[in-house]
Amino acid sequence: DAKTTQPPSMDCAEGRAANLPCNHSTISGNEYVYWYRQIHSQGPQYIIHGLKNNETNEMASLIITEDRKSSTLILPHATLRDTAVYYCIVRVMSNDYKLSFGAGTTVTVRA
Amino acid sequence: EPEVTQTPSHQVTQMGQEVILRCVPISNHLYFYWYRQILGQKVEFLVSFYNNEISEKSEIFDDQFSVERPDGSNFTLKIRSTKLEDSAMYFCASSEFLAGSTDTQYFGPGTRLTVL
């Protein structure tokens, strides 16, 4: 799986959009970008994933650059409950494939 | 919304004792996983399981570890003789089989194992 690079931490104001960058410059054509988050040692929570098109769901939006070498997770209106560690993971699309977690970005949403 | 459940939430054991961590995956899922996270460290893959067989395991998953699906709903991780360094959060995950596509893994809340 391609390696990802994320900033170690970032702050965000409550009610504002949080934009979380991820660099995956060695991504292959058959690899997807997944985002999970972990709130205070709870189980990782799936957020969103995508291949090359931008994706949106009820939690977030995922913007992937045209060359697929980087992506941005957008939390449109951050709340205090969005304070968590966010993981960007690149993985091959297949069933039965382990997730390789890095250190992620610690996002702190401030009132 | 269906979710993965794990019991117990916290297990304290003495070094050398056997422990069994239990998970109930989401009901229509066919792939099961165990991960662990030592305090302050990354989430690490341990093992994946499909069709009553281990499909992949990490180097962490040595002979002290075993997994089992004893019935149609439970998935267990057994540590035969616990060591101090086995103290960690253990997360179970499951995913649905989607022919020609992929899965999304959904995680349980974890079991905190403390080995004294």
Could you count the other beta carbons within 10 Å of the beta carbon of residue A12?
19
For residue A96, pLDDT beyond 80: no
Q: A95–B89: do the CB atoms touch at under 8 Å? A: no
Would the CA dihedral through A35, A94, B49, B46 be positive or negative? negative
Q: B106–A46: do the CB atoms touch at under 8 Å? A: yes
Interchain CB contacts (distance < 8 Å): A and B: 62
Q: A96–B105: do the CB atoms touch at under 8 Å? A: no
Q: Which residues of B95-113 are buried (b: 16+ CB within 10 A; e: fewer)?
A: bbeeeeebbebbbbbbbbb
Residues in contact with B1: Cβ distance below 8 Å, sequence separation at least 6, in sequence order: none
Asked if A106 is an interface residue toward chain B (Cβ–Cβ < 8 A), one would say no
Q: A93–B110: do the CB atoms touch at under 8 Å? A: no
> CB–CB of B27/B90 below 8 Å?
no
Calculate the average pLDDT of chain A: 93
What are the φ/ψ torsions at residue A110 (nearest 5 degrees)? -110, 140
Question: Which spans in chain B are helix H?
Answer: none
Could you count the other beta carbons within 10 Å of the beta carbon of residue B36?
25
Asked if A100 is an interface residue toward chain B (Cβ–Cβ < 8 A), one would say yes
* pLDDT tens, residue by residue, B8-58: 999 999 999 999 999 999 988 889 999 999 999 999 999 999 889 999 999
Of A46, A98, A100, the CB nearest to B48: A98
CA-based nearest distance B17→chain A, Å: 25
Is the preceding peptide bond at B8 cis, omega within 30 degrees of 0?
A: yes
For residue A1, pLDDT beyond 90: no
The more confident residue out of B102 and A53 is A53
* pLDDT tens, residue by residue, B53-107: 999 999 999 999 999 998 878 999 999 999 999 999 999 999 886 655 557 899 9
For residue A7, pLDDT beyond 80: yes
